[in-house]
Amino acid sequence: MATADLEKRVQQLEAKVQELEDLGAIRTLRFRFHECVNEKRPEGMADLFSSEAELNYSHLGTAKGREKIIKFFQKGLSELVPFVKQYLHNHVVQVQGNSASGFSYLEATPVHKGESYVVAARFDDEYTKEDGTWRFKKVTLTPYFMVPLTEGWAQEDRIKMGR
């Protein structure tokens, strides 16, 4: 085998290993986010977001900048939703250098205003690699339904939480 062929194969392998490392790091980032929510540790999210990150939680609110995002979750996890467990599904990620995008599906079981709710939604994320670490650049939540458990989602008004 020629040296040029070997060098090319090594470069391809290095690129593939980097892609796999990036995918793993981004998936871990998303999992750590849900760990912070489930364990009610919004302060743990500080390392997960870039300094200028954006958060869009539909009718529940928006925040821009790491500090405001942390405050958003501190308030939400103490006032709006004092108890919640979130479950993530089908995290798909596409990496392009130091930027990436992805989406995932969410099921959640929060308590809101003293009542059990069921939630289904989609996260659309943008990620950025800063100083070798992947962070959220933008997180958008699109709810499919947020309804009391007793009512279910077989009705026209499927967004009742946060109102």
Handedness of CA 87, 95, 142, 55 (dihedral sign): positive
pLDDT of residue 35: 97
Tokens read off for 42:
């919004």
CATH number at residue 83: 3.10.450.50
Question: Is residue 111, in this structure, part of any structural domain at all?
Answer: yes
Count of domains forming the chain = 1
SS3 46: helix
Q: Is residue 155 part of a domain?
A: no
In a domain, 37, yes or no: yes
Q: Is 160 inside any structural domain?
A: no
Q: pTM, whole model, 2 decimals?
A: 0.92
Full residue range of the structural domain in which residue 93 is found:
3-148
List pLDDT tens digits, range 89-143.
999 999 999 999 999 999 999 999 999 999 999 999 999 999 999 999 999 999 9
- Is 101 domain-assigned? yes
Number of CB atoms found within 10 A of residue 152's CB: 11
* Residue 161 forms part of a structural domain: no
